[in-house]
Amino acid sequence: MNARIVTVIGVGNMGGGMAANLLAKGWDVRVYDIDAARVAAMVALGARAFASPADAPADSQAFIICVVDAAQTGDVLFGERGLARMLKPGHAVMLCPTIAPEDVESFAVRLAALGVDTLDAPISGGPARARDGSMSLMLACTQAVHARQADLLGDLSAKVFHISEKPGDGARTKLVNNLLAGINLVGAAEALAMAARLGLDLAKTLDVIEQSSGQSWIGLDRMRRAIAGDYAARAHVTLLEKDTRLAVAAARAAGFEGPLGERASRVFAEAHDAGLAAEDDAALFKHLGGEHG
């Protein structure tokens, strides 16, 4: 493996941001995605493309997986044209999707059998932060693997949190974070829908919230878009729908049941069923405000 060569599989909003960030910092970035337009956008920035995960370049320092869910991750790793066909002892795979901890653990066991290191490394912060290197990266791997990948991790993010040496703990941390993000977003959408019903100026209401006790980053970010009528998808409704569902399931498996998580998860599912699945999750404002048109 060669330093400064990295493979990114899945170059959508977050993976594309990460790839662009690494390209800007002088990495030789190789990319794959089932969406040819996404690949073309990365090639235009200087990346090099390959035809399938099985064709990934063997000289990469690490293979970053940034797809949507466990099914896609499993296919990328162990499918008919998966990475497992070319991975060798000493390779490192970085798992960035938000997936169940038990799926991370299963993938890590299978990769370890090939002599491959696993970095359980979910990410948070949105595409702009992925691109400028300020996203949060929740890392679970051994200290030795962390040290071997320190240059890559440092260039990916200025906010790397080494959670533990146990794959699965990064996923657990991400689910805790995203459950709170989902609860905050549902709360912000509900509050703003209430403000609309009360006849308040929504921009001024958000100005007050931004400087007061109701402030949350995700609430302000999404509700600013909502009042502008901007529902172009940066993070589809289905993403936090998936993440909150996984978080509630993880809580139950640990014997914990809180008062808000399951209800917030149901709101995302209801918005999906109302036809808003492909819109930005700012569309919760439309859903809770009864403004579907």
Q: Which of 25, 174, 204, 242 is catalytic?
A: 174
d(CA 43, CA 192): 41
Polymer length in residues for the chain:
293
Amino acid symbol at 249: A
Query: What secondary structure letter does DSSP report for 59?
Result: T
Specify whether 174 is catalytic.
yes
Task: Classify 282 in phi/psi space as left (phi over 0), alpha (psi -120 to 50) or beta.
Answer: alpha
Cα–Cα distance for residue pair 85/186, rounded to 1 Å? 43
| Helix (H) or strand (E) run with residue 138 in it | strand 136-140
Q: Is the Cβ–Cβ distance between 139 and 119 less than 8 Å? A: yes
| Sign of the C-alpha dihedral computed for residues 123, 106, 12 and 222 taken in this order | negative
- Of 51, 58, 54, nearest to 36 by C-alpha is 51
CA atoms of 272 and 249, how far apart (whole Å):
19
Structure tokens at 221: 């970010």
Q: Are 237 and 285 in contact (CB under 8 A)?
A: no
Q: How far apart are the first and last CA of the chain?
A: 53
Which residues are part of the catalytic machinery? 174
